[in-house]
Structure 1
Amino acid sequence: MKQELSSDTVERHIEASPESLYDIVSDVTRTPELSPEIRSCTWVRGATGPAVGARFRAINTTGGHSVWPNWPVVVTADRGREFAFTRTEPFCGTLEWKYRFIPEGSGTRVVESYTVTEPITAVGWFIIDTLGGLHDRPGDLHAGMTTTLDRLAALAESPT
């Protein structure tokens, strides 16, 4: 069955400054602390931190036997405002992931979203659905974004 994937957004208020939240999210080496689908992230090709054009290697997992690498590139690195990257995979199109940080009262509204900018092919959906066992990819991604922002809040709001 072919699934549809276009875009989605999750928002959450977190009692922390936009800059401190940006610093956590844009340090991609910390992504496994936040995302349930990321096993590891490392900067590559000389990159050492968030900057437009910086690349990193991500190892994704669905918690089962499916594990796959991808090599995102940072497209926005505006401290305290926005961090975004794109990832392109063979047959699985291109997705842009974005985190926006909006001052709100004594904290920040964090908006995480993705947009499909190059569609997933029929072969890609076969891999995702049949081989990967991901029968509700839009639902999986939405749940993952919710978990990510919950973990970000727990991390940022906990006393150090």
Structure 2
Amino acid sequence: MTARIWSLEESLEIPLPPHAVYAALADIRRMKEWSPEVIWVWPRGERFVGINRKACWIWFATCRIVIADPGREFAFDNTTFGLPVARWGYRLTPTEQGTQVTEYWIDRRRHGWRRWAAELLGLLFTGTPAARRAAHNRAGMRETLRRLSAACRTAP
């Protein structure tokens, strides 16, 4: 049995300056354009609700923006029924050709009954056991970065 993975990072270089990439990421309504799971986002200031889908499973994620550093980093914490689930974020590093975008995920389901409850809800909502979520997320992160890059390249 392999050890559970609690965090991931995937990176891709986008040939635009960090402030342009940040502007796309910080407009969370656009997340459905590049995330393979997000189908709708309802923004509410520093909070938002995302509706996600994987095959026949549909679930919501209640999120709060926790890092909003223009041109450098954007991150949000995801909870379900008040239980911590994950932190999703994007670090932006200038390069000679544009911006290195690093998407990261940190599993926040760590302790006691809250962990057990969040993992059970995650399985019911997504159909993916917590121990396999990292592998699923890695594939999704790669697709998200490819779609983000394409969207940034075609933006006016």
Asked if Structure 1 and Structure 2 have the same fold, meaning a TM-score greater than 0.5 normalized by the shorter chain, the answer is yes
Partner of 2:150: 154
In the alignment of these two chains, the number of paired residues is 150
What residue identity is the alignment partner of 2:116?
Answer: A
Residues of 1 paired with 2:135 and 2:95: CA distance?
28
Residues of 2 paired with 1:94 and 1:131: CA distance?
12
Partner of 2:49: 57
Query: More helix per residue: 1 or 2?
Result: 2
Question: Equivalent of 1:142, from 127, 138, 141?
Answer: 138
Gaps of 5+ in 1: 48-53
Partner of 2:93: 102
Question: Structure 1 residue 5: deviation in Å?
Answer: 4.3
Gaps of 5+ in 2: none
> Are the equivalent residues in 2 in contact too, given 1:91–1:121 (CA < 8 A)?
no
Question: Structure 1 residue 116: deviation in Å?
Answer: 2.1
The 3 A distance-change label for structure 1 pair 90 and 81 is: same
Partner of 1:87: 78
Deviations 1:1-33 (A, max 9, x none): 9x8341000001110110110011110000000
Partner of 1:72: 63
Residues of 2 paired with 1:95 and 1:159: CA distance?
29
Deviates more, 1:140-149 or 1:86-95: 86-95
CA RMSD, 1 decimal: 2.3
Give the TM-score normalised by the residue count of structure 1: 0.83
What SS class does the counterpart of residue 13 from structure 2 fall into?
strand
What SS class does the counterpart of residue 93 from structure 1 fall into?
strand
Deviates more, 1:132-141 or 1:115-124: 115-124
Residues of 1 paired with 2:125 and 2:150: CA distance?
34
